Structure 1
Amino acid sequence: MSELARFGNLDIDWNLSPEHAVTMYLEWGNNDWHAEYPPVRSKDDVSTYFVVDTWGARPVVRLVRRNSEQAEELATIELPDHLANRWLHEHGDLKGICEPTEEIKAWLKKELGHE
């Protein structure tokens, strides 16, 4: 059983990038009501999404649950070697928090049992 399978019942926002999350939850008023992600109204507005964290020696995927008060890390998962190596080949040693590629999202969906 996959390490992520226990999160298979969560409503994952597959299109929420770290940039959109910051705009929605940390910079209130920086997006309009007609945008794909309208401003949050209260701490009850919650998003669950994945990011690729490249601050360490190898990239990892983090499952994040965020509202206007906090970001909670639900899980940290090492990428399989082929995905980590492809990421490093494409992005080099650039450090940061990034949106997962489509290939990584497909792997995550399989790990969650969403296929």
Structure 2
Amino acid sequence: MQTQTDLSNLVIDWDMTPEDAVTLYLEWGNNSWYAEHKPVTGKHDFSTYFVVNTWSGKPELSLVRRNSEDCVELASFDLPEDLARDFMEEQGGNKGVYAPNEAIKEWLQRTHFN
């Protein structure tokens, strides 16, 4: 399922992972000012990033925006079969929520963020 959204004006944090987002927005104070992602100082701080959810057994790619109060899905993308298969193999078939691998990031940048 692919939702169409104007993504051209969004600032994407290509290095944000689900783990980093939890540390920043749900466990305030767990990171250092010297870390790659600076600590959250209030509700106005947010990140926009991609996640791959494999709980259904098939990787589902979503663009999300998170702050300390909410996480909103902005768009979803159907992965090409080869990328989906390779991703599941890379994760050992495990269910979870993951950061996209480099192949998925390259595909996104080439097809949606030229």
What is aligned with 2:57? Answer: 57
What is aligned with 2:96? Answer: 96
Q: What aligned pairs does 1:28-39 form with structure 2 within 5 A after superposition?
A: 28-39=28-39
Structure 1's 110 and 4: CA in aligned 2 closer, same or farther, altered over 3 A? farther
Q: What aligned pairs does 1:70-89 form with structure 2 within 5 A after superposition?
A: 70-89=70-89
- d(CA) in 2 for partners of 1:55, 1:63: 16
- d(CA) in 2 for partners of 1:38, 1:13: 13
- d(CA) in 2 for partners of 1:112, 1:4: 11
Identity %: 50
Contact 1:83–1:104 (8 Å) recurs in 2: yes
- d(CA) in 2 for partners of 1:6, 1:108: 14
What is aligned with 2:7? Answer: 7
Contact 1:11–1:48 (8 Å) recurs in 2: yes
How far off is 1:82 after superposition?
0.9
| Structure 1 range deviating more: 85-94 or 42-51 | 85-94
Kindly provide the amino acid, as one letter, of the partner of residue 51 in structure 2: V
TM-score normalised to structure 1 length: 0.90
Structure 1's 106 and 21: CA in aligned 2 closer, same or farther, altered over 3 A? same
Aligned residues: 113
Contact 1:3–1:111 (8 Å) recurs in 2: no
Unaligned runs of 5+ in 1: none
Unaligned runs of 5+ in 2: none
What is aligned with 1:68? Answer: 68
RMSD value over aligned CA atoms?
1.6
Kindly provide the amino acid, as one letter, of the partner of residue 65 in structure 1: R
What is aligned with 1:44? Answer: 44
TM-score normalised to structure 2 length: 0.91
